[in-house]
Amino acid sequence: MQNVNESLWPLKQVLIMGVEENIENIANILRLHSIRSTTKAGSGHPTSCLSSAEIIATLFFSVINVDPKHIDYLDNDEFVLSKGHAAPILYAALAEIGVFPREKLMTLRQFDSELEGHPVPRVKGIRVATGSLGQGLSIGLGMAYAKRLLGIDRRVYVLLGDGEVAEGSVWEALNLAGKLRLSNLVAILDMNRLGQSEPTMFQWNWEEYANRVKAFGWNVTVCNGHDVKDLMRAFNEAKNSDKPFFIIAKTVKGKGVSFLEDAEDRHGRALSKEELSRAEKEILPKIKDAVFEPRNFIEAKIPIEPRRKYSIKTEYKMGEMVATREAFGKALVKLGEQNEKMVVLDGDVKNSTFTIYFFEKFPKRSLQCYIAEQNMVGVAVGLQTQGFDVFLSSFACFLSRAYDQIRMASFSRANLKIAGSHAGVSIGEDGPSQMGLEDLALFRAVFGSVVLYPCDAVSAEKLTCAMANYEGISYIRTTRPKTPVIYDNSEEFHIGGSKVLRCSGNDEVTVIAAGITVHEALKAYEKLRAEGINIRVIDCYSVKPLDIETLVKAAEETKHIITVEDHYPEGGLGEAVASLGLRPNILAVRKMPHSGKPEELLAEQGIDAAGIVSKVKELIRKYHPLRTFS
């Protein structure tokens, strides 16, 4: 521990105390940092920090095996602050163990400080973003599973608020961790009784939590969250547990400041300067300027390795009928052979998304997440913090279940490779509940994302490889029905690319398609050509980023642009192209989707070859009313 900085508080004593007294002392130092930094910022959640002061102090100064100098190494214990609004006290703990200078704490929430209102991995010692509640335990599960895969004997500690335990995602994580018997995962519930707007569902009725969590396959203990000795007892039990371990810590929101203790209507409110002054008068007398050598600090030795570069070769025959979802599955196996740190997750649809090929080939690096998409994404975020390349898959529409987790993953600067199958009405008879019709909109709206949509097996495999090499959040959209291979195995595909499939000196209209509609556009080309009309056909397989140059050139060279997509018009391919200022005529899914044969549904929505032909003729007629077609 650094010596207490004079500028921050006036007391000066050097005492030798016992471990518990030292940790109590540190808890109050963390309290002081939390209320001072939030008052300086003029906002924040001081009372949520105060309830967890002893928990955090005990963890960082006695329990967690951590190397403050190499806190990003893999052989540290991990800590996830699921109740992200208590960020100030986490920052305070990181400063006190020496990860960054204590002075930085007072920059909390400022425009140019990395100490944001809720944790983000810009801060040294923090691996993931939290602040949308109920996500931390899934991430911790992923980290704990990663340590197990890596053979690193370290634990993962996740601090939960009691309000967030209402989130189903917490129970998804409890469920899978119990099933996997992840004994290196420890959750601590800061049971401070009060939510944001009123008391929590169960207030201090700890048995409600204990019964639930036990039933989910965890060992559970209860302790006084302000009694360091009791906390240390609980953490010792955790270390000897043969299952994941859950500590219910009974706490008081606002603990340590009399007028904040258990006070309703103090959530998310900083203290006024006058209140701060009163609060300091209560806390300062408890603080001693002590020298303390924590015994939990270690020398970490395992850095995260640089990421592997993948390559891929395909062996398809032109015209062969292969579903892109299956090609994706085949690619996973080829990529998995190149990197032992590539893992694949699936939510009980591996035989539809074709991750089953990977599951069968690499069972140890495959994780069945069952039908729990939120947890699956959280687990993936946790895994990638430990240097794994993670692919995860489900039906495109069911990934929408985890959108909040995916959104948060972008603030975690996570490296996630997501595959959504069963895109669009072309799935056919199963009907709209199973159709991905908004996934392009959703994934395009993820900060920094890449969105890919191959139309054949060759491009599907090569784009899967491009995702593997990309660092960030990438998404591949695959199709249920089989489609013909249209590319030679030597073709290359890259993020931000496109392919001009048909082109002549006198193209009247450009048709920009992706995925299943590429094949409809090619059929339309043949029909129109037979009538003496030339169209340009572009396979816009990179929906984000777009191949701007090729699209702008086509717009300059042909009078009209049509986009055609098996997706709602909002936020899809058409709007992406429109955002370039290219005025596309957007063909998309505009009628209430329902069951039927794929070809019937494509026709009904006007996104099949006939729909394209009809639109092309309509556009030409607009400018040449008298023109007839052969």
Residue nearer to a second copy on the CB measure, 44 or 294: 44
Interacting residues with a second copy between 482 and 511 (CB under 8 A): none
570 binds a second copy (CB under 8 A): yes
Could you give the string, one character per residue 137-176, with x where binding to a second copy holds by CB under 8 A and - elsewhere?
--------------------------xx-xxxxxxx--x-
Write down how long the chain is: 630
81 binds a second copy (CB under 8 A): no
Interacting residues with a second copy between 338 and 377 (CB under 8 A): 346, 348-352, 356, 368, 370-372, 374-375
Q: Which residues, 6 or more positions from 595, have their beta carbon under 8 angstroms from its beta carbon? A: 428, 429, 430, 431
Provide the minimum distance between the beta carbon of 575 and a second copy in the complex, in angstroms, as a whole number.
Answer: 4
Q: Which residues, 6 or more positions from 593, have their beta carbon under 8 angstroms from its beta carbon? A: 425, 431, 432, 435, 437, 601, 605
Residue nearer to a second copy on the CB measure, 320 or 404: 404
438 binds a second copy (CB under 8 A): yes
Distance CA 385, CA 337 (A): 21
Provide the minimum distance between the beta carbon of 326 and a second copy in the complex, in angstroms, as a whole number.
Answer: 15
Distance CA 101, CA 95 (A): 6
Residue nearer to a second copy on the CB measure, 113 or 534: 113
Residue nearer to a second copy on the CB measure, 142 or 256: 142
Of 130, 142, 120, 126, residue with least CA distance to 404: 130
Q: Which amino acid is at 454?
A: P
Interacting residues with a second copy between 176 and 205 (CB under 8 A): 179, 195-198, 200-201
Instruction: For residue 424, give both structure tokens.
Output: 């669009």
444 binds a second copy (CB under 8 A): yes
Instruction: For residue 117, give both structure tokens.
Output: 């209102």
Ramachandran assignment for 268, one of left (phi > 0), alpha (psi -120 to 50 degrees), beta (any other): left
Residue nearer to a second copy on the CB measure, 536 or 544: 544
Provide the minimum distance between the beta carbon of 5 and a second copy in the complex, in angstroms, as a whole number.
Answer: 24
Interacting residues with a second copy between 447 and 476 (CB under 8 A): 447-448
Q: Yes or no: say if 419 and 391 are a contact pair by the CB < 8 Å rule.
A: yes
214 binds a second copy (CB under 8 A): yes
CB atoms within 10 A of CB 566: 33
546 binds a second copy (CB under 8 A): no
Q: How many residues bind a second copy (CB under 8 A)?
A: 104
569 binds a second copy (CB under 8 A): yes
Interacting residues with a second copy between 374 and 403 (CB under 8 A): 374-375, 397-398, 400-401, 403
Residue nearer to a second copy on the CB measure, 3 or 43: 43
Provide the minimum distance between the beta carbon of 126 and a second copy in the complex, in angstroms, as a whole number.
Answer: 13
Could you say which of 430, 471, 531, 557 contacts a second copy (CB under 8 A)?
Answer: 430
CA atoms lying within 13 Å on the CB side of residue 153: 1
Could you say which of 191, 377, 442, 612 contacts a second copy (CB under 8 A)?
Answer: 442
Residue nearer to a second copy on the CB measure, 269 or 278: 269
Burial track 576-594 (b if 16+ CB lie within 10 A, e otherwise):
bbbeeebebbbbbbeeebe
Provide the minimum distance between the beta carbon of 167 and a second copy in the complex, in angstroms, as a whole number.
Answer: 6
Distance CA 374, CA 593 (A): 26
Q: Which residues, 6 or more positions from 553, have their beta carbon under 8 angstroms from its beta carbon? A: none
Residue nearer to a second copy on the CB measure, 61 or 216: 216
Interacting residues with a second copy between 577 and 616 (CB under 8 A): 578-579, 581, 583, 586, 592-597, 600-601, 604
Could you say which of 2, 3, 43, 504 contacts a second copy (CB under 8 A)?
Answer: 43
303 binds a second copy (CB under 8 A): no
Could you say which of 541, 575, 602, 608 contacts a second copy (CB under 8 A)?
Answer: 575
434 binds a second copy (CB under 8 A): yes
Q: Which amino acid is at 253?
A: K
Interacting residues with a second copy between 49 and 68 (CB under 8 A): none
Provide the minimum distance between the beta carbon of 404 and a second copy in the complex, in angstroms, as a whole number.
Answer: 4
Provide the minimum distance between the beta carbon of 191 and a second copy in the complex, in angstroms, as a whole number.
Answer: 15
DSSP at 404: H
Q: Which residues are the active-site residues?
A: 373
263 binds a second copy (CB under 8 A): no
**Strand pairing report for 473-477 and 450-452:** parallel
Interacting residues with a second copy between 84 and 143 (CB under 8 A): 84, 109-113, 116-118, 120, 122, 129-134
Where does this chain touch a second copy (CB under 8 A) — which range of 255-263, 299-307, 522-530, 565-573? 565-573
CA 587 to chain CA centroid, Å, is 31
Distance CA 514, CA 184 (A): 45
Q: Yes or no: say if 390 and 557 are a contact pair by the CB < 8 Å rule.
A: no
Ramachandran assignment for 546, one of left (phi > 0), alpha (psi -120 to 50 degrees), beta (any other): beta
Ramachandran assignment for 298, one of left (phi > 0), alpha (psi -120 to 50 degrees), beta (any other): beta
Q: Yes or no: say if 276 and 35 are a contact pair by the CB < 8 Å rule.
A: yes
Residue nearer to a second copy on the CB measure, 198 or 531: 198
Burial track 448-485 (b if 16+ CB lie within 10 A, e otherwise):
ebbbbbbbbbbbbbbbbbbbbbbebbbbbbbbbbebbb
Instruction: For residue 155, give both structure tokens.
Output: 């634990």
